[in-house]
C-alpha cells in the first residue's frame, strides 16, 4: 500500500469502452505495465468489473471501477471489497461521476478499504465535494467536473482554478488525503499542467483507451511525470 502513497499516480479507467472488450483489456494492461516498468512509475489500470481477476493475474496495479458496500455472504450481484482483495485488486474508484453513490456508502467504503489496506480514490465533481469527502481521509480525492469528462477539454487548462482550489480544500482537511486530477486529459501537456497546479496524479479514460496507439499515448503521459 505504501508504494502507492509514496508515488505520483497515473490511473487509467477502462470504463466499458468497446476498445477494451474481450482480451483487449489484458493487452492494454500489459502495455501500461511495460511503460510503468520503463519509467519506474505507478500506472494503475481499472478494467471492467468482470475482468478484474483476469487482469490482476498479470498486473499488480489494478483497481476496481466501483465497489458496493454490501456484506460478504449471501449477497448476489455486488462487487465487495473483501472479495476483490482476494483476487489481488489493490484499490478502487468510489463515486465516479458515472456511478454516483450516497454519502453514507462512500464513508463506509473508505473505512472498509482502509481496514483492508486497499487504496481509496473518491471521485468528486466540485471543490465543495472535495472538502466534504477529504474529511473522511480517503487516500485520494479525484476532482472531475462532469461536463469535461470525455470532452477532450482538460480541466487543467479549461478550469485550472478548480484544481488549485481543490488542492487547498484537501489540505484544509489536515490529514493524509491527496488530490488527483481527471476529466478531458488527452495529452502530456495536460498532465504536466495538472501536476504544476498541485495534483498528485491523474485519472484518465478516453485519452488513453481511445488512442490509436496505446503504448505511444501512455508513453507521452508517462514522460510528463518523469519530467516533473
User: Any idea what the CATH number is for the domain that residue 64 is in?
Assistant: 3.20.20.70
**Residue indicated by cell numbers 499515448:** 217
Spell out the residues 6+ positions from residue 214 whose beta carbon is closer than 8 angstroms to its own.
27, 28, 31, 208
Residue 147 has pLDDT above 80, yes or no: no
144 part of the active site: yes
The question of whether 96 is a catalytic residue gets the answer: yes
pLDDT, tens digit (0-9, with 9 covering 90-100), for 30-69? 999 999 999 999 999 999 999 999 999 888 799 999 999 9
Summarize pLDDT for 66-114 with one digit per residue, the tens: 999 999 999 999 999 999 999 999 999 999 999 999 999 999 999 999 9
Residue 172's pLDDT band, with cuts at 50, 70 and 90, is: very high
Provide the number of structural domains found in the chain: 1
Residue 38 is predicted with a pLDDT of 94
Q: pLDDT higher for 1 or 19?
A: 19
Catalytic pick from 129, 144, 165, 220? 144
CB proximity list for 73: less than 8 A, separation 6 or greater: none
Cα–Cα distance for residue pair 144/129, rounded to 1 Å: 11
How far is it, in rounded angstroms, from Cα 49 to Cα 187?
27
Confidence of residue 210 (pLDDT cuts 50, 70, 90): very high
Give me the catalytic one of 96, 129, 165, 220: 96
- Cβ neighbour number for residue 176 with a 10 Å cutoff: 10
Buried b (16+ CB within 10 A) or exposed e, 129-149: bbbbbbebebbbbbbbbeebb
What is the 8-class DSSP label of residue 15?
T
CA 215, chain centre distance (Å): 19
What residue numbers bound the domain in which 154 lies?
2-226
In this prediction, residue 25 carries a pLDDT of 96
Closest CA relative to residue 44, chosen from 210, 217, 206, 205? 205
- pLDDT for res 185: 82
Model confidence at 145, in pLDDT bands (50, 70, 90)?
confident
Mean pLDDT of 223-227: 90
Amino acid at each position: 500500500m505504501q508504494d502507492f502513497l509514496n508515488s505520483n499516480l497515473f490511473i487509467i479507467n477502462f470504463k466499458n469502452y468497446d476498445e477494451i472488450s474481450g482480451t483487449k483489456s489484458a493487452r492494454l494492461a500489459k502495455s501500461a505495465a511495460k511503460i510503468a516498468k520503463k519509467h519506474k512509475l505507478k500506472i494503475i489500470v481499472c478494467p471492467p468489473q468482470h475482468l478484474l481477476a483476469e487482469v490482476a493475474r498479470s498486473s499488480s496495479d489494478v483497481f476496481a471501477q466501483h465497489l458496493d458496500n454490501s456484506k460478504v455472504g449471501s449477497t448476489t450481484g455486488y462487487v465487495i471489497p473483501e472479495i476483490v482483495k482476494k483476487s489481488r485488486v489493490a484499490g478502487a474508484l468510489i463515486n465516479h461521476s458515472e456511478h454516483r453513490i450516497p454519502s453514507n456508502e462512500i464513508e463506509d467504503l473508505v473505512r472498509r478499504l482502509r481496514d483492508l489496506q486497499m487504496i481509496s480514490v473518491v471521485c468528486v465533481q466540485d471543490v465543495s465535494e472535495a472538502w466534504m469527502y477529504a474529511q473522511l481521509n480517503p487516500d485520494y480525492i479525484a476532482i472531475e467536473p462532469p461536463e469535461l469528462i470525455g470532452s477532450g477539454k482538460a480541466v487543467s487548462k479549461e478550469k485550472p482554478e478548480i484544481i488549485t482550489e481543490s488542492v487547498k480544500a484537501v489540505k484544509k482537511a489536515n490529514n493524509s488525503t491527496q488530490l488527483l486530477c481527471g476529466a478531458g486529459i488527452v495529452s502530456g501537456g495536460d498532465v504536466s499542467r495538472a501536476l504544476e497546479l498541485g495534483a498528485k496524479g491523474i485519472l484518465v479514460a478516453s485519452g488513453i483507451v481511445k488512442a490509436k496507439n496505446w503504448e505511444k499515448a501512455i508513453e507521452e503521459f508517462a514522460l510528463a511525470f518523469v519530467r516533473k
